[in-house]
Amino acid sequence: MSPKKNCRIYSWNINGIRSATKKGFPDWLGKSRSEIVGVQEVRAQPDQVPDEVAAVGRFHQHFTAPVRKGYSGVGLFSRRKPDALETSLGEDRFDDEGRLQIARFGRLVVANGYFPNGSGKDRDNSRIPYKLDWYAALFERLQKLRKSGKRVIVMGDFNTAHKAIDLARPKDNEKTSGFRAEERAELDRWVAAGWVDTFRAFEPGPDHYSWWSQRFGVRARNVGWRIDYIMASPAAMKFVRGAFIRPDIMGSDHCPIGIDVDPAIFGDSD
C-alpha cells in the first residue's frame, strides 16, 4: 500500500479578487493541487466575487466581507467542507473589518487572517494600537483552541516583518509600521508561546520575501518584505513536511506562500 501524498496549503494576499481574476487567479487556483487556500484582501462583497472564481471546481468557497465596501476581506477555498467556520473575534471593531475566518477540519483548525496594517490614512502609524489589539485578540482565541487539543495553523498577511532578515532594508524601516519594535515584539510573543514560523523552520537564509512595492523595478530587484506567514502550533507542526514561498507567481504585489502537510493532520492520530 503506497503512502498518502502530502497535502498542500496555500496563503496569498491577492490584492483584490476582481483584479486578481483578470490576472489569472482562477486558473492558478484550479491548477494549484491544493487542499486549502486562504486569500486575503479580497476587497469584494460575496456577490461581487467573479463568476470565474465561483466556477473553479471541487472547492468549497467561503468569503468574509467587511462593512466598508471595497476594503479588506478574506476568502477560504477547501477541498473538504469545514466542520465549523467562525468569523468573529467578539468585538464589532474587529469583526466589522472582515479580516478573519477560523475553519475546523477534524482536529485541524485553520485561521485565515488579514492582519491590520498600522499605517493610518496619512501613513502616521496611528493604527498600530488597533493592529496590536487585533493580534492580541486572535492570539487569545487561538491559544484556547490549542488548549482544547486542536492542531492549529494561522496563516495570512501579518503585515509585520519579524526579523531584520525578513526585509531588504531593515535600517531604513525601523520607524515604519510593519517593522516597528512594538509590532515585532508581538511576533516574539507568539514564538515564545510555541508558535512556529513554518518557513523559517525549513529555510534560515536571507532574500526570501512575499511582498514588494509596486514601484517599477522593485520586485525585479527583490527589494521586498516577508510579511506573509503560516504559523503552526506545536501539535500541528508535527505534521508539516515543508514550507515555501513562490515569488515566481504573479498577479498581486504579494506572492503565494505555503506548506505541505501529512494528511494525518486532519485525523485523530497523534
All three cell numbers of 200: 523559517
Spatial separation of the C-alpha atoms in residues 192 and 196, rounded to whole Å: 9
Rg (CA), the chain: 17
Q: Look up residue 93 and give its amino acid.
A: R
Long-range contacts, 179-187 (Cβ 8 Å, 24+): 179/225, 180/118, 180/125, 180/128, 182/128, 182/132, 183/118, 183/128, 183/131, 183/132, 184/160, 186/132, 186/135, 186/136, 186/160, 187/158, 187/160, 187/162
Instruction: Measure CA 153 to chain center.
Output: 10
Question: CB under 8 Å to 19, separation ≥6 — which residues?
Answer: none
In angstroms, the CA 100 to CA 103 distance is 10
With beta carbons less than 8 A apart as the criterion, state whether 236 and 198 touch.
Answer: no
In the numeric block, the cell 465549523 is attached to 84
User: How far is C-alpha 184 from the chain's CA centre?
Assistant: 17
| Pairing, β 36-40 against β 7-13 | parallel
Reduced to 3 states (helix: H, G, I; strand: E, B; else coil), residue 251 is coil
Q: Which residues are catalytic?
A: 157
Distance from the Cα of residue 62 to its chain's centroid? 15
